[in-house]
Amino acid sequence: MKVLIVGKGITIFRKEFAENMKKYFDIEFDILCTGNANHYYNDINKIFNNIYYIKNNRNLIKRIPKLRVLYNRILIRKIIKNLDTYSICHIHSVSPFYGLIIDDLKRTCKHLVTSYYGSDFYRTTLLEKKLQKKILEKSDVITFTNKKMMGHFNKFYLNRFKEKTRIIRFGLSPLEHINLFKKKSIKLMRKEFNIPSDAFVVTCGYKASNALQVEKILSQLGLVKNLLPENVFLILPMTYGEKEVVIKVENVLKQLKFNYLIIKQFLSNENVAKLRLISNVFINVPISDQLSGSMQEYIYANNVILTGDWLPYNIFYENGISLIKVSSLEEIGEKTVEIIRNYGEYKNRNLESKEKILELCSWESNAIKWNELYEKLHYEK
């Protein structure tokens, strides 16, 4: 079976999807990037047979948004015209831009699968949704990671596409890496990051984005700083995202005088796993979210999780996974103090969460569901 993945670039998410599907099933993957492809993965050519991407070297055109979109459309259509025929074209994250090339894409494949990531639904304008609608009309199946988002989607489109919608989650490769280091000394792993061995580590967010509200988290922690133990150490993972957010967060931290580490450099899978394991508490209160992979990894690494009750995490609650909830950002400081003071009690609640996360989020279990969908479409006349 030949599958074409369509995405803005070769993200680690798309890479791991293809990598794990190939691991369990006989599938060949190509990838079409509607932006410049990132080639910083050493094994990328072992995962994708062919990598197709836009080569827009015209600086003047790049600076003019509307002209850039039109020019990119011309470039991508030329690429699509020469592609093979695929059993399935799988769009990963529904960029409105694909609405401009959807007829061309549809001609390259027998079936079209469209997967929403989260912000591609919740943070798109009405005009962008109009372009997305063209994609949805051509799709055979539209997937989501949770019931809440699928419900919002069907309500917005007045159930027009309800028969096409499915819930299929993506797996998490970092769970396997966490297993590799779970018996390693926490003190030694902290030493690798220059973090005191006796620190109580609180991790805030997982990327540099205003949507994760990290500045506001820090402000709330600053209000209760005198109630926190002196050994509290903050980790801010900001290996990707918006540079201006990193600068603003750094300025806030300097004013509040917390002991902290901002991680800016790209991390290997091994170091990502260690980062999860050396943390005690993970604070995740984005404006919106669709089953954050990072948060699931922190749960699996036995962190106490502090999150917002406005987030669509019913799948966790339904499966007995323990999360501490706040209903507003103003509660974060007080709740963090409470967690630290009663850390042993809260950590004990997590004892069963690890295995439940493995059942829900491992690639081994989720790849089966994706393959069932692919097989069903592949053999349809």
Q: What are the pLDDT digits (tens) for 201-227?
A: 999 999 999 999 999 999 999 999 999
Domain co-membership, 131 together with 262: no
CB 105 within 8 A of CB 76: no
E strand segments, the chain: 2-7, 28-33, 51-53, 86-92, 109-115, 141-144, 165-167, 200-204, 232-237, 259-263, 281-284, 304-308, 324-326
> Are 77 and 182 in a shared domain?
no
| Bridge-based pairing state of the strands 200-204 and 165-167 | unpaired
Do 200 and 103 share a structural domain? no
pLDDT at 38 over 60: no
| Co-location of 218 and 295 in the same domain | yes
What pTM did the predictor assign?
Answer: 0.76
Q: What is the pLDDT of residues 229-277, one digit of tens each?
A: 999 999 999 998 899 999 999 999 999 999 999 999 988 889 999 999 9
> Which CATH number belongs to the domain containing residue 95 in this structure?
3.40.50.2000
pLDDT of res. 68 = 78
pLDDT in tens, 57-116: 666 666 777 777 888 888 899 999 999 899 999 999 999 999 999 999 999 999 999 999
Each residue of 126-144: pLDDT tens digit? 999 999 999 999 999 999 9
The model's confidence at residue 378, banded by pLDDT at 50, 70 and 90, is very high
pLDDT tens digits, 324-368:
999 999 999 999 999 999 999 999 888 888 888 888 888 888 999
Residue 133 and residue 179 in one domain: no
3-class DSSP state of 80: helix
Q: How far apart are the C-alpha atoms of 64 and 317, rounded to whole Å? A: 46
Q: Do 374 and 348 share a structural domain?
A: no
Q: Are residues 164 and 184 in the same domain?
A: no
| Residues 344 and 369 reside in one and the same domain | no
Identify whether residues 78 and 45 lie together within a single domain.
Answer: yes
Rounded CA-CA distance 287/213 in Å is 7
Residue 263: count of CB within 10 angstroms of its CB: 16
Looking at residue 40, its pLDDT comes to 53
Structural domain harbouring 52: 2-171+362-378
Least confident of 160-169, 190-199, 313-322: 313-322
Number of domains in the chain: 2
Q: Answer yes or no: do 302 and 366 share one domain.
A: no
CA 351 to CA 284: how far, in whole Å?
20
Checking if the pLDDT of 37 tops 80, the result is: no
Together in a domain, 203 and 317: yes
Question: In which band, very low, low, confident or very high, does the pLDDT at 315 lie, cut at 50, 70 and 90?
Answer: confident
Q: Could you identify the residue written with the tokens 């019913």?
A: 314
pLDDT tier at 8, thresholds 50, 70, 90: confident
Question: Helix and strand tally (H, E) in the chain?
Answer: 19, 13
Residues 368 and 356 in one domain: no
Q: Which pLDDT value is given to residue 62?
A: 64
